[in-house]
Amino acid sequence: MSGELIIFIVLGAVAIASAVGMLTSKHAVYAALFLVLNFATVAIFYLMLGSPFIALSQVTVYGGAIMVLFLFVIMLLGAESIKAELSWKKVAAPLVLAVVLLVQAFLVVVSKTGVSDLAADTTIAGASPVPLAESLFTTYLLPFEITSILLLVAMVGAIVLTKQEKKGVVK
Amino acid sequence: MISIDLYLGLAVILFSIGALGVLIRRNSLVVFMSIELMLNAANLVFVTFARHYSADPAMVNNGQIFVFFVMTVAAAEVAVGLALIVTIFKNKNTIDIDQLNKLKG
């Protein structure tokens, strides 16, 4: 058993356990913190797959920006926990469906790729920031520009949705 | 070295847990987090296949570029979705998705 396999098993156990913890925690803040742990382990998987830049953007974008936004909204609303959640009667049918999804996805995805071990070297030539940026600004220039419009629209939408209506102003 | 199947299997498990979370949780914030978990599992598959095809110079970083786009869409989705949740909470004073049944006949 190689060292990398041991690391994979331990990290995979942490990832699955934190995902299940997010699912079962009653308090939304705990769920968010479990999700941060899950994102961190996935970032380490990206490192193991030889994509350091993706791993670091995972940490900054998901672990940083998105989860801070989540925690901020949870604490802003003060609605962390909902009473009488997760009763067995309601969980049973979705659980069966999720297991069916799991088995089907395993059958379809896993072992269909002509089983192969990943290449031995841990760095990909195209995974460093320079080649990534090159193809982002040449091959994928149009999607990149459309992405900026998407972000602008999302920003304007978020502001408009949460804007306070002024009371007593006749239009 | 590690087989590609291990990574794919892990991504499948994480995706299924996320789908289960969307189905069973009633707190809409946690439902949202489950959606993030599913997007993350998809990203893991992208990066795994980027590694798998890293010998092919034509597609060496295509998977990683797609991860970038997924991250951008996830960020935009979170901003708008959380704004929606805040607005719903202001109007109905709850984020329990079972209570949001005004459209039900």
Q: What is the pLDDT of residue B81?
A: 92
| pLDDT, mean of residues A46-75 | 90
Q: ipTM beyond 0.85?
A: yes
By mean pLDDT, which of A53-57, A114-118, B64-68, B92-96 is the weakest? A114-118
Residue A9 has pLDDT above 60, yes or no: yes
CB B34 within 8 A of CB A135: no
The reported pTM is: 0.88
By mean pLDDT, which of A95-99, A111-115, B27-31, B68-72 is the weakest? A111-115
- A124 band by pLDDT with thresholds 50, 70 and 90: low
Of A42, A127, A159, the CB nearest to B44: A42
Q: What is the pLDDT of residue A113?
A: 57
CB contact under 8 A, A135 and B78: no
Question: Which are the contacts of B53, defined by CB distance < 8 A and separation ≥ 6?
Answer: B59, B60, B63
Specify the amino acid at residue B60.
Answer: V
Residue A55 has pLDDT above 60, yes or no: yes
% residues pLDDT > 90 (chain B): 44
Question: Which are the contacts of B1, defined by CB distance < 8 A and separation ≥ 6?
Answer: A2, A4, A117, A118, A119, A120
Distance between terminal CA atoms of chain B?
57
- Chain B residues lying within 8 Å of A53, measured CB to CB: 64
CA–CA gap between residue A101 and residue B19 (Å, rounded): 9
Higher pLDDT: A145 or A134? It is A145
Q: What is the pLDDT of residue A82?
A: 66
Burial class (CB in 10 A: 0-12, 13-18, 19+), A37: middle
Surface of A (65-94) touching B: CB under 8 A: 65-66, 69-70, 73-74, 76-77, 79, 81-82, 85-86, 90-91, 94
Query: How high is the mean pLDDT of chain A?
Result: 84
CA–CA gap between residue B72 and residue A36 (Å, rounded): 18
CB contact under 8 A, B75 and A42: no
User: What confidence tens digit (pLDDT) does each residue in A89-119 have?
Assistant: 778 888 899 899 888 888 887 766 555 666 5
Q: Which residue of B has its CA nearest to A142?
A: B69
Q: A1-81: what CATH class?
A: mainly alpha
Of A2, A23, A127, the CB nearest to B21: A23
Which domains does chain B show, CATH number per domain?
4-92 (1.10.287.3510)
**Is A49 in the B-facing interface, judged by CB distances under 8 Å?**
yes
CB B42 within 8 A of CB B70: yes
Q: What is the pLDDT of residue B20?
A: 92
Paired with B27 in beta bridges are B96
CA–CA gap between residue A127 and residue B101 (Å, rounded): 47
- From the CA of A145, how many Å to the nearest CA of chain B? 11
- B61 band by pLDDT with thresholds 50, 70 and 90: confident
CA–CA gap between residue B63 and residue B50 (Å, rounded): 5
Q: What is the pLDDT of residue A92?
A: 85
Q: What is the pLDDT of residue B82?
A: 92
Most confident of A13-17, A96-100, A103-107, B64-68: A13-17
CB contact under 8 A, A54 and B8: no
